[in-house]
Structure 1
Amino acid sequence: MRSSNSVCVSVRRGDFFNNQNARSFAVCTPDYYRKAKKKLEDKKLKDLIFFVFSDDINWCKKKLGFNGDNVIFVSQDMPVYETLRLMYNCKHFILSNSTFSWWGQFLSTSKNKLVVSPSRWNNDGYQSQLIQKDWILINC
């Protein structure tokens, strides 16, 4: 990941999309991730490799439309701290509306990282202070 032009794509599903929480937290749709990927591709960054991290990799493979030799779906058969370590070794980030996703980019030491984020982190009107001014925001 450090030796490539890597992009961490963080997709949180699980409890954000269950009946109890979806109304508040179901922000990041497949369309959001496609727009975010295109934003990075439009930056003319060379040889991007997208590493997709999720608690529902099968859903990502079916719904995101990310395919090709430059997309790697990362197995979740490892401890959470290993997932986070892999995430923060990426150079660029497409975040979901989760703090786990945020920590991945925060711990990154990439000097010229680009971070793409949803413009809101929930559907209840809460304005997150986690969103930074220099991020690329996607309206969801």
Structure 2
Amino acid sequence: MIIIRMTGGLGNQMFQYALYLKLRAMGKEVKMDDFTEYEGREARPLSLWAFGIEYDRASREELCRMTDGFLDPVSRIRRKLFGRKSLEYMEKDCNFDPEILNRDPAYLTGYFQSEKYFADIEEEVRQAFRFSERIWEGIPSQLLERIRSYEQQIKTTMAVSVHIRRGDYLQNEEAYGGICTERYYKTAIEYVKKRQQDASFFVFTNDPDYAGEWILKNFGQEKERFVLIEGTQEENGYLDLYLMSLCRHHILANSSFSWWGAYLNPSREKMVIVPHKWFGNQECRDIYMENMIRIAKEQS
């Protein structure tokens, strides 16, 4: 048996589920641990339900058999004394780790942020990540009206998604700082404008006050080309992902969320613009897909 530990927000959960699909396609018994990271009050929302996804869940007994995390100190010592090893395996870094596909039995921890894990089952992954009609249930009427308006605007224009991620990224400068700078976004937008003169830019962000000021500061004379997406929160962030996926082209943050927003757009003609680095403290080669347009460091 293989258990994959779920962690992080929706974009991360999607990478972990894509690995789940790949391992099952290889004929392995796979379950998800959606308990360990998501039991506390501060936990981020589990959001795969937005695609109508169901998966096999690991029980507490199975987690105890495969990890040390649920054992009391005496049981951990006893396990070591009798030579029983923990089956936990953590991905080595942010790049494709082929060992992930070979471990069995295993308790896998990581983000698995590379198409290389599931490129050969691309169609199955795309089918899995089709939005369910359930995403429209329980939405306040005012927000629903706003989302439908954005949807109509995106479908009737040369829409380009722009993802500006702030919030938690501001607390970890070592990993995220100095990558998606104002200069990066300006360079990316100018790149698109030269190739799509009628482009409209739909800005997705977890800091709308900052993004609104940024639009006025840098593009005030053509602000009518920009639409700031507002009204959503993390608990219904799948609505942002849905709208992103409808756009023709994409300007990404160094974020798994906008990575998937671009991936779910099936067009072979799309432009997907990305920063020169993904993390400041690691070299993440394998998160980049073929035909992504990387903005060079000196340009950003």
Q: Report the counterpart of residue 82 of structure 1 in structure 2.
A: 239
Q: CA deviation at 1:77?
A: 2.6
Alignment of 1:42 with 2:194, yes or no, is yes
Within 5 A, what are the aligned runs for 1:88-99? 88-99=245-256
Q: Is the 8 A contact 1:92 1:114 kept in 2?
A: yes
- Give, in whole Å, the separation in 2 of the partners of 1:58 and 1:30: 15
Q: Is the 8 A contact 1:90 1:110 kept in 2?
A: no
Q: CA deviation at 1:7?
A: 0.2
- Give, in whole Å, the separation in 1 of the partners of 2:285 and 2:168: 19
- Give, in whole Å, the separation in 2 of the partners of 1:4 and 1:70: 10
Q: Is the 8 A contact 1:76 1:83 kept in 2?
A: no
Alignment of 1:31 with 2:180, yes or no, is no
Q: Report the counterpart of residue 114 of structure 1 in structure 2.
A: 271
Decide which of 53, 58, 72 is 2:209's aligned counterpart: 58
TM-score normalised to structure 2 length = 0.44
- Give, in whole Å, the separation in 1 of the partners of 2:214 and 2:239: 25
- Give, in whole Å, the separation in 1 of the partners of 2:180 and 2:247: 20
Q: Per chain length, whose mean CA-contact separation is higher, i.e. which structure has more relative contact order (CA < 8 Å, sep 6+)?
A: 1
Q: Name the structure where helix makes up a greater proportion of residues.
A: 2
Paired residue type of 1:113: K
Q: Report the counterpart of residue 16 of structure 1 in structure 2.
A: 169
Query: CA, structure 1 residues 50+131, in 2 after alignment: closer, same or farther (shift >3 Å)?
Result: same
Unaligned stretches of 5+ residues in structure 1: none
Q: Is the 8 A contact 1:55 1:76 kept in 2?
A: no
Q: CA deviation at 1:24?
A: 1.2
Q: Is the 8 A contact 2:248 2:265 kept in 1?
A: yes
Paired residue type of 1:97: N
- Give, in whole Å, the separation in 1 of the partners of 2:292 and 2:204: 20
1:38-91 CA-to-partner distances (Å, cap 9, x unmatched) read 111122x14111000000111112235234211000004351111110010000
Q: CA deviation at 1:22?
A: 1.2
- Give, in whole Å, the separation in 2 of the partners of 1:132 and 1:106: 9
Q: Is the 8 A contact 1:5 1:46 kept in 2?
A: no
Question: What SS does the aligned partner of 1:87 have?
Answer: helix
- Give, in whole Å, the separation in 2 of the partners of 1:66 and 1:102: 25
Alignment RMSD (CA, Å): 1.5
Query: CA, structure 1 residues 24+130, in 2 after alignment: closer, same or farther (shift >3 Å)?
Result: same
Q: CA deviation at 1:128?
A: 3.6
Decide which of 205, 228, 249 is 1:73's aligned counterpart: 228
- Give, in whole Å, the separation in 1 of the partners of 2:232 and 2:187: 28
Q: Is the 8 A contact 2:232 2:240 kept in 1?
A: no
State the percentage of identical aligned residues: 31
